Structure 1
Amino acid sequence: MNVLPKFCRYVSANVLGMIALSCYILADTFFIANAIGADGLTALNIAIPMYNLINAAGLMTGVGGGTRYAILRAQGENEAANRLFSGMALLAAGAGCALLALGALAARPLAALLGADAVTLSLCSVYLRTILCFAPFFLLNSTLQAFVRNDGAPRLAMAGMLTSSLSNVVLDWVFMYPMGMGMFGAAIATCIAPILSLCVLSTHFARPASQLRFSVRGAALRPAARALSLGASSFVCELSSGVVLLVFNLLILHFTGNVGVAAYGIIANLALVGLAIFTGVAQGVQPLTSHAYGTGNTAELRQLLRLAVGLVLVLAAVCYLAVNLWPDPLIAAFNRDADPQLADIARTGMRIYFVGFFFAGPNLVLAAYFSAVDRPGQGFGVAMIRGLIALIPLALVLAAALGMTGVWLAYVLAELCGLGTALFFLTRRAKAN
């Protein structure tokens, strides 16, 4: 069977949606850098790991629940699928409320723990408190997006993400320039965006083709909690981005201070767009992969995997060429004061850091593939290697030996270790079959 038309329809919609989603923080970065300057950019980069945690929790409930939902639907278990959806929505709301409490009670000490100093503490704590207090909306939005996509409406899921992203850009400008709301304006614009997306996604329940139903009484919490394991790799992949930020921020503060963290903020936020594209490919192909697995179609599974890996390698090459051919215009967009030290650090870092994209893209696709075919342990293993187990020791050792060059190189080598692990799992299973 030729799966290319279905692959293009699902993946293109999700890639466009994920690009839009990545612009949540990219828009904040641009407007904060130009309205507040390097101190605001540094404060934002220190706060982003908590945004990664929120997004990771949303991916865990969304991808985990959506994957199990697709498998149940493929097997004709429609009632069980809707009970699972109801349970997963309640889990997402509960996790969001826990994060809300953290933001309301401990935003300032949390900002200090993440590395904010006397210059950036106030800016960072304002941003953290705001986004954490809106965490329930972020989690519910991520969860509903995944279920809508798996219920046969990838374009509506894309529409929700595009709505949230475009509204965030517009509201960032309104709140930070005409209204002069500063860091709080950037944060509240980001927080309104998922609420608007939820309004778009909720129209799915009224569509004649929709099979998705929510019921508090019919919620299956235990199956929903078990389904979280299928989203564990997505959780760790997203959380690892926050870990990378946190570890790199602390190391860079030691070597170059706040200006280095601001430079890394530019690199990290440009990288966020590339990683969002890879995640879009991985999540876009997931409903097709889970359906093929649920119906036992191994030939289609192999086709889908080859298409996804090939696509992310092409996209990695495009991203790498872009940051090497046009580094100065990309940096200048976020360097309001034309700081030559900031520009030099960012330029050197880009050329090393983005080599890791050739390994990060396949890693994200393979980790998602393992979860989509009900092998969550292997997906979790790949995510742990690339995001935590390899990255932290590599960053510490290479930074001590090579300084800033070692910091950038650690990301590349950690992704390479993750890819080696993924290929080992893949070839071992192939030999077993």
Structure 2
Amino acid sequence: MAKVSAEQLGSEPIGQLLVKQAVPASIGILVMSLNVLVDSIFVGNWIGAIAIAAINVVLPVSFFIGALGMAIGIGGSSIISRALGSNNYQKATLVFGNQITLTLFITVSMALLGLYYVDVLIPAFGGKGGIFEPAKAYYIIVLYGIPFLAFSMMGNTVIRAEGKPKFAMVAMIIPSIANLVLDYVFIYWFDWGMKGAAWATTGGYIFCFLYISYFFASGHSELKLSWKSLALQIPIVREIGSLGVVTLARQATTSVVYLIMNNILFGLGGESLVAVYGIIGRMQMFALFPVFGVTQGFLPIAGFNYGAKKYQRVRESINTAIRYASLLAALVFIGLMVFPQEIASLFLSDSADQYAENLAVNAYVLDHIPLAMRLVFGATPIIALQLIGAAYFQAIGKAVPAFLLTLTRQGFFFIPLILTLPFFLDELGVWLSFFAADVLATIVTGLYLRKEIKNTLQLPQSS
């Protein structure tokens, strides 16, 4: 049965297959996004808006280390999808074993370095003034759980590459539910403040790690590990790295963006403006979950069929994924444009027992959020083309264009814009940079993808 599940990627109708792959992925991402959203709501209401700013400072460091696992996972899973498409199960298993060894070694080492340089990294990422102490308390505890997160992110991509999206969905739901329950216990009942929020997050990572370990150990997976497969092989590591660097570059660039943004915003409006970006960041994770779900569902379909040389199905998967994701993105766009202030108010407490300082921060956030949210999400209806286009090249193993297109939005356009526009337009320049970068990156990706389809995917389909 497991083998048939993988082979269905090359035989079922694309529209039906994409729904089967994307819906569980979307649900999983939705639950994870809701976890981040509700977690921020709990923190904002029970601790304060400054706590949201503190978490926003920690995220780029912790997510970068966790993203090492995702980079290894997606890089290896692209190879696994194509290996399964060509019935090379031996290579698929060897790649998975190398993924495990790489993930454990690299992320544990990085977490230890992150803990050693804690007092340097937090201020560098904008954790200054009243943000520093809560950010440090949160950061130290969360880094304990980062290796568990990294393994979970790696394992989840492999599960999806095997054509088992429901298991991948459950793996994403478990830590989210665990985190929310632990949030209530540690923050509300035990009154642990930022430490409670951090332990809840770390606990969620550990629960996810346990479930994914169960999946691979209990016979649900097609990949049967041996001690030999865990031994690193240079050609395999090089291939994983060449594709995984795309994901790593994306997250590294995101971390640099957080560093720049937090420092620029702190200079323009102090802790309060950093809190505005904290809410915007949470909404970026949550609002686009259906688009990310379609993208995740698209990856194994494109990779498998490309490996099987079924180019007509690859073309169809690209077109279908863009259509589905664009429709969902347009619906998200309407909600964000109409209700920005109402959305922001969910993160803030108006209780009379709040300190005057917290109430002042809340008022500032509500005043500044509408313009920020409308500009940041202004290009949402067209963003699907950008995401699907970059994902396609990663799925088929073309590392260089995947790498360049991944860097296009944040590296080539956003960072130069954010370093320039605020000098002329102040806060408006910050938010306008998001919109301009999305539009420019989508144009470039669309042109490159069109050229690729014309030159490569018009080849005769093999029998």
Scaled by the length of structure 2, what TM-score is found? 0.89
Aligned-pair identity in percent equals 26
Structure 2 CA distance for aligned equivalents of residues 415 and 390 of structure 1: 8
Q: Is the 8 A contact 1:52 1:241 kept in 2?
A: no
Q: Is the 8 A contact 1:112 1:121 kept in 2?
A: yes
Of residues 179, 185, 197, the one that matches 1:168 is: 179
Letter in 2 for 1:385: T
Q: Is the 8 A contact 1:88 1:225 kept in 2?
A: no
Q: CA deviation at 1:325?
A: 2.0
Give the alignment of 1:134-153 within 5 angstroms: 134-153=145-164
Give the alignment of 1:5-16 within 5 angstroms: 5-16=16-27
Structure 1 CA distance for aligned equivalents of residues 257 and 437 of structure 2: 10
Correspondence for 2:142? 131
Closer/same/farther in 2, CA of residues 126 and 427 from structure 1, 3 Å limit: same
Mean CA deviation greater in 336-345 or 88-97: 336-345
Letter in 2 for 1:129: I
The CA deviation string for residues 12-36 of structure 1, in whole angstroms up to 9 with x for no partner, is: 1111111222344333321211121
Letter in 2 for 1:98: S
Q: How many residue pairs end up in the alignment?
A: 433
Of residues 346, 349, 362, the one that matches 1:333 is: 346
Q: Whose radius of gyration is greater, 1 or 2?
A: 2
Correspondence for 1:428? 451
Residue 317 of structure 2 aligns to a residue whose secondary structure is: helix
The CA deviation string for residues 291-332 of structure 1, in whole angstroms up to 9 with x for no partner, is: 100110111111111111112212221221112222222111
Give the alignment of 1:16-415 within 5 angstroms: 16-205=27-216, 210-219=221-230, 220-222=232-234, 223-337=236-350, 339-415=362-438
The CA deviation string for residues 199-240 of structure 1, in whole angstroms up to 9 with x for no partner, is: 222333356563112233223442034223223333333343
Q: CA deviation at 1:57?
A: 1.6
Q: Is the 8 A contact 2:418 2:430 kept in 1?
A: yes
Mean CA deviation greater in 153-162 or 331-340: 331-340
Letter in 1 for 2:135: C
Closer/same/farther in 2, CA of residues 26 and 246 from structure 1, 3 Å limit: farther
Closer/same/farther in 2, CA of residues 115 and 209 from structure 1, 3 Å limit: closer
Q: CA deviation at 1:161?
A: 0.6
Mean CA deviation greater in 115-124 or 15-24: 15-24
Letter in 2 for 1:246: L
Letter in 2 for 1:128: Y
Mean CA deviation greater in 177-186 or 112-121: 112-121
RMSD: 1.8
Letter in 2 for 1:112: P
Correspondence for 1:2? 13
Closer/same/farther in 2, CA of residues 323 and 9 from structure 1, 3 Å limit: same
Q: Is the 8 A contact 1:168 1:190 kept in 2?
A: yes
Structure 1 CA distance for aligned equivalents of residues 228 and 38 of structure 2: 40
Residue 76 of structure 1 aligns to a residue whose secondary structure is: coil
Mean CA deviation greater in 199-208 or 363-372: 199-208
Structure 2 CA distance for aligned equivalents of residues 359 and 390 of structure 1: 16
Structure 2 CA distance for aligned equivalents of residues 91 and 208 of structure 1: 23
Structure 2 CA distance for aligned equivalents of residues 207 and 213 of structure 1: 10
Q: Is the 8 A contact 2:146 2:205 kept in 1?
A: no
Residue 37 of structure 2 aligns to a residue whose secondary structure is: helix
Residue 115 of structure 1 aligns to a residue whose secondary structure is: coil
Q: CA deviation at 1:261?
A: 0.8
Correspondence for 2:439? 416
Residue 116 of structure 1 aligns to a residue whose secondary structure is: coil
Mean CA deviation greater in 294-303 or 213-222: 213-222
The CA deviation string for residues 226-281 of structure 1, in whole angstroms up to 9 with x for no partner, is: 22322333333334333332222211112111111111111111111134433222
Mean CA deviation greater in 387-396 or 213-222: 213-222
Mean CA deviation greater in 329-338 or 375-384: 329-338
Structure 2 CA distance for aligned equivalents of residues 12 and 271 of structure 1: 19
Closer/same/farther in 2, CA of residues 88 and 378 from structure 1, 3 Å limit: same
Structure 2 CA distance for aligned equivalents of residues 48 and 136 of structure 1: 15
Correspondence for 2:355? none
Structure 1 CA distance for aligned equivalents of residues 66 and 447 of structure 2: 28
Q: Is the 8 A contact 1:103 1:133 kept in 2?
A: no
Q: Is the 8 A contact 1:137 1:194 kept in 2?
A: yes
Letter in 2 for 1:354: F
The CA deviation string for residues 111-162 of structure 1, in whole angstroms up to 9 with x for no partner, is: 1111112311111112122222222101100111111111221101101111
Mean CA deviation greater in 69-78 or 49-58: 49-58
Scaled by the length of structure 1, what TM-score is found? 0.95
Correspondence for 2:460? none
Residue 218 of structure 1 aligns to a residue whose secondary structure is: helix
Letter in 2 for 1:422: T
